[in-house]
Structure 1
Amino acid sequence: MTTALHAGEKRRKPDFILPAGSCDAHCHVFGPGAVFPYAPDRRYTPDDAPREALAALHDRLGIDRAVIVQASCHGTDNRAMLDAIAWRPDRYRGVAIVDDTFDDRAYQALDDGGVRGVRFNFVRHLGGAPDMDAFNRVIDRIKGRGWHVVLHLDGADIVPLSDMIRSLPLPFVIDHMGRVDTALGTEQPAFQALLELVRRENCWIKVCGSERISRFPFDAAVPFARALVEASPERTLWGTDFPHPNLKEPVDEADLVDLVPRLAIRAEDRQRLLVDNPARLYGFVA
């Protein structure tokens, strides 16, 4: 039985058994800061969460693969993420943060290191939208590499950004169910716009972040995630968001795993969500 986790409590193993080859398609490594310093202009300073902590989490949960997403606290210094991938190259892939200083050689080094996409943050409390001229130049550089772009945005910005998103000339992934406001219901314009986007053939969506858009036991997130899985069963992804940066309440990731059967009701949808879809997008070999 799941119960709210309090700070300092020991995490448990989930009741739901994940299928073989399951992928945590959204997680982070932080530091250690003494080896991989945090960006001087960061908006927050996390506790260290190195590759060993991530591996221990996945061992506890029964997760075989992972996509390590570069977070803003490390900026464009992707070394901590690349180091983790190099540690387990068959099981890990990455999403980088880049800027205009990255040339073709730098992109090739990222590709060789297991990176398959770049992430742009539009979330207001993390600095807001990027310079769109730089954004477009990066898109031009990566669109021929077979990479994708990850968009981290607020629910309130889905409608205003929809025209730009629809015009993207490459696959794109939207983080955390678009961070929609669950209090406004599934009929709200932001979520309806998100559903329109996810039906596009080049759109992928992560049904992670239940703990960001709802409170334990995360019931409010379920109808949103379920609608997204039903709208695009072959392009949905799932992840833990470990170690949950900037989250006020502690989370036991086992609770997020046990939520999966409520998000994807049919076994075939869970297989796609957890195994087949991330394998196809990130090139994991069976």
Structure 2
Amino acid sequence: MPEYQAFNPHPRAPAKAPPPLSCDSQFHVFGPRDLYPVRPGAAYEMPTATWQVAQRLHATLGIQRGVIVQATTYGADHQVVLDALQGLNGRGPRRYLGCANAAVLLERDDAYLQQLHDAGVRGARFTRGGLGISFSPAEMDRALGKVRELGWYIKVQPEPSGIAEQMKAFEHLDLPVLMDHMGRVDPSLGDQDPSLPAVLDLLSRGNFWVMLSLSEKLSKTGEPWNDVVPLARRLIAAAPERCVWGSDWPHPVSTKATPNEGALLDLLSRFAPDTPTLQKVLVDNPARFFGFTAEMETAA
């Protein structure tokens, strides 16, 4: 199994502090391996990146809410997410929620799905085929039925070539659907990349959302990732009420040095340079999509 780069050990605060109750809408937790064994056949394993480190990262960034996304590394075994949700939320307000890997919808029973829901899992992520978890048409129908029963959202991870082909399996749905990583549009191609018109078409509907993330891998020019700014601004202009932001910490499957998350938040301030739009992307939109509520802020 290849070795991938660990997260930046020295994150800095962004130049502009994010608004209160800002949300990191996608980050992952990994290891330690003696507590959370890697599933057989996993496509990758990352250096340990625990919820305690993520908690310190968010304190540095000024982030107060987050969504832990289950990595394919663990497949349907969500113990690492369950423990992280317990650790991050403790007995205080529930400011962290989770997103399952869609494999769990077929491999585990209803009692386990209810356990995830009770812990704060509110969605299922359908990951790209190269990571080793895929569905036949019949399995996809079953999985989507489970999502509907649970009242969850759907999350779609783009293929490296873009999201256009994948969305054909989801475009007919009336469920909330979040497209990760700006649809993995190639910023050097713009409209010539089929994924951009596909994403824009779906954003014209009311139930499709997009995550502003993965800038460091989408960019063809490198830090400070100037070539991604026009793409992100175009997506925001298309659906300012349905864009969210995620760090993607600890940046799985990175073969180059991972970014400083403070720099990624600075980049977001270039995507959304006015305060009202930044408030939407970091606070209002994730609260509405994931289901953060005022009651959560006071719940014991």
- SS of alignment partner, residue 234 of structure 1: helix
Distance 1:9 1:33, change over 3 A: closer
Report what 2:232 is aligned to.
225
Q: Does 1:118 align with 2:149?
A: no
Distance 1:207 1:7, change over 3 A: closer
Amino acid in structure 1 at the alignment position of 2:122: R
Q: Does 1:245 align with 2:252?
A: yes
Deviation, structure 1 residue 171: 1.0
Q: Give the TM-score normalised by the residue count of structure 1.
A: 0.92
Q: Is the contact between residue 186 and residue 223 of structure 1 (CA under 8 Å) also seen in structure 2?
A: no
- State which of 167, 173, 177 in structure 2 corresponds to 1:172: 177
Report what 1:3 is aligned to.
none
Amino acid in structure 2 at the alignment position of 1:194: V
% identical equivalent positions = 39
Report what 1:28 is aligned to.
28
CA RMSD of aligned residues (A): 1.9
Q: Does 1:268 align with 2:273?
A: no
| Rounded Cα–Cα distance in structure 1 between residues aligned with 2:157 and 2:135 | 11
| Rounded Cα–Cα distance in structure 2 between residues aligned with 1:113 and 1:157 | 32
Deviation, structure 1 residue 10: 3.1
| Rounded Cα–Cα distance in structure 1 between residues aligned with 2:177 and 2:239 | 14
Cα deviation 1:49-68 (Å, max 9, x = unaligned): 01101001101111001000
| Rounded Cα–Cα distance in structure 2 between residues aligned with 1:259 and 1:186 | 22
Deviation, structure 1 residue 13: 1.9
Amino acid in structure 1 at the alignment position of 2:246: G
- SS of alignment partner, residue 195 of structure 1: helix
Q: Is the contact between residue 155 and residue 180 of structure 1 (CA under 8 Å) also seen in structure 2?
A: no
Report what 2:53 is aligned to.
53
- After TM superposition, list the pairs within 5 Å mapping 1:69-218 onto structure 2: 69-89=69-89, 90-97=94-101, 98-124=104-130, 126-127=131-132, 129-154=134-159, 156-214=161-219, 215-218=222-225
Q: Is the contact between residue 120 and residue 130 of structure 1 (CA under 8 Å) also seen in structure 2?
A: no
Q: Give the TM-score normalised by the residue count of structure 2.
A: 0.88
Deviation, structure 1 residue 253: 0.5
| Structure 2, gaps ≥5 residues long | 1-5, 295-300
* Count of residues in Structure 1 that have an aligned counterpart in Structure 2: 280
Deviation, structure 1 residue 29: 0.6
Cα deviation 1:13-67 (Å, max 9, x = unaligned): 2111100000000100111111111212111110010110100110111100100
Amino acid in structure 2 at the alignment position of 1:80: V
| Structure 1, gaps ≥5 residues long | 1-5
Deviation, structure 1 residue 156: 3.5
Deviation, structure 1 residue 227: 0.9
Deviation, structure 1 residue 12: 2.1
Report what 1:19 is aligned to.
19
| Rounded Cα–Cα distance in structure 1 between residues aligned with 2:24 and 2:8 | 23
Distance 1:48 1:25, change over 3 A: same
Amino acid in structure 1 at the alignment position of 2:252: P
Distance 1:86 1:273, change over 3 A: same
Q: Is the contact between residue 78 and residue 100 of structure 2 (CA under 8 Å) also seen in structure 1?
A: yes
Amino acid in structure 1 at the alignment position of 2:48: D
